Structure 1
């Protein structure tokens, strides 16, 4: 909401408040003022000029040589490139030495050999947005009406010396979507009276009811419809003061009739619409629901297909307006309009919102109907518009109003006790002080003992419960005046829980390993909801999704991480390492809240290590991901409880994937993205992992412990085993560990061979074994005894032979 300081001053005395001071007080009272704009702050030297003569520039076809009276002793010559400049016009002139927006300084110059002493300005050159310029001046210079004087301040005449306060309103404060609403707020803050217009149009003898009849066929959507008829209007520009106030409020001027309806809209907060009465033709207005598939052309000349849940204004035969949203091209006020029908109605906010959303039509009117208008202003706004049309469009207002329906809700009464008020705020207010605050808000009150009952005016539909009254008292009493207190009760120890600490350890480890954290949507499409899921269930669908792509809750973090990696890869970021900790959601049945679990997932693609000086590059592979998971487990003290097992889940490469086991129970998966899926998203080899993070972090963890470096030397033995090609290295490692006992301290695979020199169906797996006794030096005999035991176990359990 843009609030003009000059316009606001018509309703409440703010002369002793600078715009900045006023903005500060409004913000402190609960409505944030995002900024204060001073349009004329950076401009100077702009005056009204009168073009005495205009002739073609002798050396340029597109330039005019103008003689302009700028209030000095002699007129000055100005070269102008606007097509619409002509003699007899009053224009805005930036004299020599003037400064325009952007610190653009006007200097005396020669244009194609002719001297130019200033610049004739368009509205855009004076800082007014082009979307707000009247259509006739959208291109070219602006022409003032004849009630200006050469040499006077052009910025003042255009209200550019105004201050514009931009209010950031919360949805509940729809009352402040009008100048009168803001005036009530400012008057309450400053403790002053509000001066409201009292419309009383001069009426002719002919009754309006003879010109138009109104019928409401959808009273639940439109309980009240009021119309006024103004005849013999003369369409033309609205007064300059009205045009400039509308522009300052962010509304584009059109003509006097349309501008008046917009002016009253901004003044009262009540949307109005002006119809060309003669184009209604039937002499009847019927408000009804649209027919399914009904066609209607709106003011923007777009044909709309209506549905049965939308409300239309008709002439009894065809639609002439989409109620509360936009009028129709078939009843639009134009340059030939003579007789005007003014519509002022109360429409249900939900039905207006549905229509506005369905057709993508967002207007000042629909925004106010959606949030709620004051039903007590429907009639007054209609009278105000009729009065202004009689004054500024030369029309004759027919006597009486044409009214259909009735809607006069009783003002709500809300009560609160002084004790409850003070308890909530921590104050010691007296009843007199509370009554004064409500009096400043123009609320009627009734006090009985310790309880005060407030009759809430209909303009404040946001006040319905005692807590709302508490808020009103708090903000006008002043949040700065509310005493500061510490919470009472036993203090709780601070710090992170073991679970939170574990999550932080994992995040820091992954970031130290070269990963970047990603945060992706919890919502996804039906196709991706269960993709890569560790537990596949029926996806949880949203009741009111934003779109088909965000209609289901995810069951895995990986689909969006793959999407993020593909997005980066498409922008020449081929080496990507991303991780995410987040929730997934598992269906627990109909009408049951889904189960929420925290997962850890990641993706690596491209180069994992690069040493440019040595000319070395190492691409990410399966073992990179496996090492990352093992490192994270080590940081959590869970290494001995984690293991890996071959797996072939859907979406992963069938030969480069493993299930992650924790205490022999599956908790995750690591592996390569299936090549067909990688091709779909245009990724090279990509490796993924996903773990049930909550299982790992809730497990009892062993604190990190250190052992001294052995004082006695170790003995290493290498063995190359020939086994069936189907035997997994993990099985051999387990057998070796069990047979090696306490002396075997380290074991790892250092070679796997399958080739020409091996028997068909066989492979060679080589292990490096390290034996050590922390208490003494091992002898060859002791090591040989254990080593023979290991070989025997391998022969017995895996039919493994030493490779010759």
Structure 2
């Protein structure tokens, strides 16, 4: 965003600062100035001169000798400018006196430090200065379109200048163009009026808004046009006015200067007025030739899919139903908020125009602009979300300028289709909290005075600060605190030490459990792997999942990178198995990997509410180790997080991707914590792993229900232990867990531990049976055990074993 300092002074007339002072103060008050360009830099001793006579140079075909009046003196100047010819007189030009400076050359390029002009001779004839072009004065024909393409600058005949006047002042070059970096939340500052409000508040000067006088003849606009807004969500407000008897011509000099300082090329009075109001109020406008509007009707509707439309730049645009269009009763006449159409463009023969100042949904304009590959000054403002209440004031300002410039006759009345009335935001005034946020000790009245600078008013009855609708960035106490801080002065806020109570840093319990899982995995030789949370639907076939398996109900991604990344994962195995396969193909013999990652389980498809996200601790390995090694790692984790009871394992869990005879679900106090097992050989083939592979998947949220780090200290045993070995002949279908549950139940308080140290099947054992041997350790915490106590415990254990059909091995 650029503005000239002189344009700002139109609304803050008492402002008297240099460009550097302006930049420093505005930046400190929150309106960041990126830099500025001083238009009169390297210009000196340049006055208005009147050409009295022009004679041919005696020794040159292209040079002429001019006598130029500069009020107190008549100078002889030799020039080769093509627009100064022999015999002419009376023109007023810019003259650089002896010792003066110009900023650039004929090519428009500025010379660092400028070029000093001195009296000298050209082909033997004395020349006492130089008549200069607009480029030599450091400007361009964009700012001064009346300047010739080649030759010196000649003041227009209607210019109120006299010989000897300051030419720099006469050309308006005692000015600076300021460049701002406006944050997207300050939509009001994308207008000159918004910047001027900030300047007035910063320098404590009075802000004077443009005075808009009523316009319009005795006719009624409804006799010319009607408006039908069919999509009220995308067009909250649409205002329209009509101007007849339009006269196309150049804009006044002051308007051309203002537009050029903002980087906008002046074209004619009609186009310049719409651009001027857009920059002044930050409200884009558009003008239509009313004679091209079929049926005298404007319809605001969505485009049709595949519709083709040619915009003002002559390009055909393919539209879809998400793009909002301005139409008549026959066809589109413009793309809402972006660009008008070729079929309704203004020509020099226009007689009656329709002014449009509307408000459109910012998000839709941004997406439409991106979809069409067409971004304009108007769309750049609309996409930030404009104040709907600004539209009527802007269109009335445009009509006022039309009448003031004699560019047309305004028809009475205005069409205003308003579907959204934006109310001022009210924020509770909390001076103590503001002082707490800023570290200041300002009084409530001081705060209100600072806020009043930017038109924030105070409702004493409700104790609320009222923000005008153009301040969309203010909606909470912190925003009020910022307003106070920037006008109190950030450099005036005292330096204070942080206050508060020191606390011991601590991880949340969930993260402590996850950290313990990582510690156990890495202690047991596992390396951490990381996989994408999105994967391919083909994964389910590789894992041999049934067609109706609930895990196949995955959440599809709306904008996937490709089919291989098109769903959110419901199971964590694919990532680690893929990593194991890569390692196997690279001939790594022993690989152990683990991952801590989420699965995403939909409650219903399509989604009607957020899915369940569950953190899963997954372990996978091949090489050294077997099912029992993996089981040991899982049990080590359970122990480390405080699950002191023995987990229960239920075999034949029915998972297709695991070996049917080497898998188990893990339960703790009736809650399933996860599963483990050997990967099915067919799944290993699908992944290209030529080794037996083992996995374990533990549900962290389920573990959290039982985990605890409240460990109790137990002293060193003071009394001796007694061991007993027992060897049994057991039916094959009886699991070790059943036996161990019985040992715990019947061994009583004196059974300290037990260990399975032998399992044997062979010709010495009868068919359908196996031999199992346990070592039992008995100890009392209170005394030395007597033989009778041990015998009693062993008898109970033996009776229990007999009830399972287990015999002692002889």
Aligned to 2:570: 559
Is residue 2:653 matched to residue 1:648?
yes
Q: Deviations over 1:396-441 (max 9, x none)?
A: 8332268322659697495967878878878664465345323321
Query: Secondary structure of 1:397's match?
Result: coil
Alpha-carbon distance, 1:690 to partner? 2.6
Distance 1:374 1:557, change over 3 A: closer
The correspondence for 1:25, drawn from 12, 17, 28, is 28
Are 1:670 and 2:685 matched, yes or no? no
Q: Aligned partners of 2:470, 2:480: CA distance in 1, in Å? A: 15
Matched, 1:301 2:304: no
SS at match of 1:176: helix
CA distance in 1, matches of 2:700, 2:787: 46
- Aligned partner of residue 288 in structure 1, secondary structure: strand
Structure 2 partner of 1:176:
189
SS in 2 for 1:312: strand
1:534-553 C-alpha deviation (Å, 9 max, x unpaired): xx9999999xx984989xxx
1:16, distance to aligned residue in structure 2 (A): 5.8
The one of 416, 433, 438 equivalent to 1:405 is: 416
**Equivalent residue number for residue 738 of structure 2:** 731
- Residue-pair matches, total: 645
Change (3 A) 1:305 1:760: farther
Q: Is the 8 A contact 2:729 2:807 kept in 1?
A: yes
Within 2, Cα distance between the matches of 1:570 and 1:712? 52
Note closer, same or farther for the CA distance 1:439–1:659 as it changes in structure 2 (3 Å cut). same
Matching residue within 18, 21, 28 for 1:15: 18
Partner residue, 1:797: 804
How many angstroms does 1:318 deviate by? 0.9
CA contact (8 A) 2:647 2:668 kept: yes
**Higher alpha-carbon deviation: 222-231 or 351-360:** 351-360
Mapped partners of 1:240, 1:561: distance in 2: 66
Query: Where does 1:617-696 land on structure 2 (aligned, <5 Å)?
Result: 618=624, 622-648=627-653, 650=655, 652-653=657-658, 654-671=660-677, 685=693, 687-691=695-699, 693=701, 696=704
Once residues 333 and 406 of structure 2 are traced to their aligned partners in structure 1, the CA distance between those partners, rounded to angstroms, is 24
3-state SS of the aligned residue for 2:632? helix
- Quote the offset at 1:317 in angstroms: 0.6
The 5 Å alignment of 1:139-178 reads 146=149, 165-170=180-185, 173-178=186-191
| Equivalent residue, structure 2, for 1:215 | 227
Q: CA RMSD in A?
A: 6.7
Alpha-carbon spacing, 1:456–1:493, altered in 2? closer, same or farther (3 Å): closer
- 1:416·1:469 contact (CA, 8 Å) conserved in 2? no
In 2, the alpha carbon distance for the partners of 1:623 and 1:673 equals 14
Q: Distance in 2 between matches of 1:436 and 1:477?
A: 10
> What is the distance in 2 between the residues matched to 1:383 and 1:239?
20
Q: Distance in 1 between matches of 2:371 and 2:277?
A: 25
Choose from 604, 608, 621 the match for 2:619. 604
Structure 2 CA distance for aligned equivalents of residues 399 and 569 of structure 1: 81
Q: Go from structure 1 to structure 2 and tell me whether the alpha carbon gap of 1:436 and 1:332 turns closer, same or farther (over 3 Å shift).
A: same
Aligned equivalents of 1:687 and 1:311: distance in 2?
Answer: 55
* In 2, Cα distance between equivalents of 1:695 and 1:788: 37
Q: Hey, what's the Cα distance between the residues in 2 that align with 1:738 and 1:465? A: 64
1:682/1:482 Cα in 2 relative to 1: closer, same or farther (>3 Å)? farther
Structure 2 CA distance for aligned equivalents of residues 23 and 624 of structure 1: 69
TM-score, L = length of structure 1: 0.58
Shift of 1:797: 1.8
SS at match of 1:640: coil
Distance 1:686 1:770, change over 3 A: closer
Alignment of 1:286 onto 2:286: no
* Contact 1:287–1:311 (Cα < 8 Å) also in 2: no
> What is the aligned counterpart of 1:225 among 231, 235, 239?
239
Any idea what SS the aligned residue of 1:670 has? Answer: strand
- Structure 2 CA distance for aligned equivalents of residues 738 and 418 of structure 1: 66
Q: 2:286 aligns with which of 263, 267, 273?
A: 273
Offset at residue 638 of structure 1 (A): 1.8
Deviations 1:515-565 (A, max 9, x none): 54869879999x99xx99xxx9999999xx984989xxxxx9972644654
Alpha-carbon distance between aligned partners in 2 of 1:771 and 1:390, rounded to the nearest angstrom: 108
With over 3 angstroms needed to count, the CA separation of the structure-2 counterparts of 1:694 and 1:181, relative to structure 1, is farther
Task: Give the C-alpha shift of residue 378 in structure 1.
Answer: 2.9
Question: Is this contact kept in 1: 2:307–2:318, CA < 8 A?
Answer: yes
SS in 2 for 1:726: coil
Deviation at 1:655, TM superposition (A): 3.6
What's the secondary structure of 2:804's corresponding residue? helix
Matches of 2:298 and 2:213, distance apart in 1: 27
Q: 1:105-254 alignment to 2 at 5 Å? A: 146=149, 165-170=180-185, 173-194=186-207, 213-218=225-230, 220=232, 221=235, 223-227=237-241, 232=248, 245-246=262-263
Other-structure match for 1:745:
753
Rg larger for: 2
Change (3 A) 1:650 1:783: same
Q: Is the 8 A contact 1:646 1:659 kept in 2?
A: yes
The whole-number CA distance in structure 2 between the counterparts of 1:350 and 1:675 is 57
Deviation for aligned residue 1:648: 1.7
Gaps of 5+ in 1: 41-68, 70-87, 96-143, 151-160, 248-252, 551-555, 608-616
Q: Name the CA shift for 1:573/1:148 in 2 (closer, same or farther; >3 Å).
A: farther
Q: Which residue of 2 aligns with 1:580?
A: 596
SS of alignment partner, residue 695 of structure 2: strand
Distance 1:628 1:427, change over 3 A: same
- Structure 1 residue 291 displacement after superposition: 7.5
Residues 752 and 777 in structure 2, CA contact (< 8 A), matched pair in contact too: yes
1:319 corresponds to 2:357: no
> Take 1:752 and 1:208, find their aligned partners in 2: how far apart are those partners?
107
Is 2:441 the partner of 1:438? Answer: no
* Structure 2 residues not aligned, in runs of 5+: 39-79, 81-104, 113-146, 154-175, 562-566, 586-590
What are the superposed Cα offsets for residues 612-634 of structure 1, whole Å, 9 maximum, x if unpaired? xxxxx537x64454333212222
